Amino acid sequence: MRKFPINMHLNVDSFLPASDAEKEYMVQMRPSTTFFRDGVKRLLKNKIATISFIMIIIITLACILIPLFWPYKYDKQLGISLGKPVDPTYANLRPFEYGETEQAKIAAGETVFPHIFGTDSAGRDYFIRVVYGTRISLLVGFFASLIVLVIGMTVGSIAGYCGGKVDIVIMRIVDIIYSLPDMLMVILLSAALNNSGLDKLIQGTVLEKIGLNILSLFIVFGLLYWVSMSRLIRGQILSLREQEYVLAARACGAKPGRIIKKHLMPNCIGVVIISTALQIPSAIFTESYLSFLGLGVNAPMPSLGSLASDALNGIHSYSYRLIIPAVVISLIVLSLNLFGDGLRDAFDPKLNK
């Protein structure tokens, strides 16, 4: 023993180095798992989240793959063919009914692909329109969330990391944006954009097909909806910045870039992914009710909201045309929300401490 022997409760013998056997005993540990693998395991245990995830995959695959082989086009009015008068028998077909020329073909022994959901009032196959509408809704949800993520993350991490005056200024701007009525902004923006000559600019691009309204929706998401994301990320970075491991990295001379990349990002990425996942359904929902109000995609491109809106005209005779897109929206939003909740339960370290 060096210096003073301990004369108190501590037994001097316990200051001897551990024997090999003791060391061996101390290294009994459970098999190594990474944080990610742990989370996935917990996620898979959650039946509701797993089912929701499968549901999302099925819906996504369906709206990518079905248009590839479906014999009808979403904007093809089946009653109209070149050089012939309009055939009115194609409009408003009920599920599994056929138009006149199709019935003739069937009578001649040919097989005709059925109209599973019938056709709409303009004689377009309704099933493929629902598929396209789902596609649009998913795309809008995904890209709007991506915009929110990129802007929110950049602004939030700058505010959180720099702190001080920068933080105060950014957060006051965020507060102001928070207080703007978002729906009013969407409506005003789409009106402003429609008169801005932007439509000429986007002529011939994919954006034209989707329409200015959706573009203004994206812009509004980009301008307004990032604020809650940036608040969340700022809070995360602020609390992570005070962690001792960040201090330890600074104590050994690590530069800010390294600290952000190695210490701050990996520790808040879980929360970021989760809130992005939860952002998607809210974007889809917004798009749907804007389309329902007539501020969504440009005709003839359908979206689930505009399909539901069109169906209102024939709600008594053709109520299924309203029910189908409504059910699809609910399914998508519900499974995304449940999956997002599952993600949070599985990956948020604060809940599984």
| Residues making contact with another protein (CB under 8 A) | 2-4, 6-11, 14-18, 23, 26-27, 29-30, 32, 34-35, 243-245, 247-255, 258, 262-263, 266-267, 349
Closest distance to another protein from the beta carbon of 208 (Å): 44
Between 94 and 258, CB nearer to another protein? 258
Of 230, 317, 312, nearest to 268 by C-alpha is 230
As given in the structure block, the two tokens for residue 150 are: 């990129």
Closest distance to another protein from the beta carbon of 161 (Å): 16
Closest distance to another protein from the beta carbon of 163 (Å): 13
Between 41 and 94, CB nearer to another protein? 41
Of 145, 108, 84, nearest to 279 by C-alpha is 145
Between 209 and 262, CB nearer to another protein? 262
Closest distance to another protein from the beta carbon of 223 (Å): 30
Residues 6+ apart with CB under 8 A from 334: 52
User: Counting beta carbons within 10 angstroms of the beta carbon of residue 212, is it exposed (0 to 12), middle (13 to 18) or buried (19 or more)?
Assistant: buried
Closest distance to another protein from the beta carbon of 198 (Å): 44
CA distances from residue 34 to 38, 39, 150, 176, 344 in whole angstroms, order as listed: 6, 9, 27, 41, 17
Between 202 and 254, CB nearer to another protein? 254
CA distances from residue 123 to 92, 136, 176, 242, 287 in whole angstroms, order as listed: 6, 21, 48, 63, 25
Q: How many CB atoms lie within 10 A of CB 268?
A: 21
Residue 154 CA to residue 151 CA, distance in Å, equals: 5
Between 26 and 68, CB nearer to another protein? 26
- Beta bridge partners, 119, equal 125
Classified as helix, coil or strand, 226 is helix
Based on C-alpha coordinates, what's the Rg of the chain?
29
Instruction: Decide: 329 and 307 in contact? Cβ < 8 Å.
Output: no
Closest distance to another protein from the beta carbon of 248 (Å): 6
Closest distance to another protein from the beta carbon of 152 (Å): 21
Closest distance to another protein from the beta carbon of 348 (Å): 13
Between 73 and 241, CB nearer to another protein? 241
Between 172 and 255, CB nearer to another protein? 255
Closest distance to another protein from the beta carbon of 236 (Å): 13
Residue 119 CA to residue 113 CA, distance in Å, equals: 13
Between 247 and 315, CB nearer to another protein? 247
Of 210, 212, 187, nearest to 197 by C-alpha is 212
Between 197 and 253, CB nearer to another protein? 253
In angstroms, how far is CA 236 from the centroid of its own chain?
21
Residues 6+ apart with CB under 8 A from 257: none
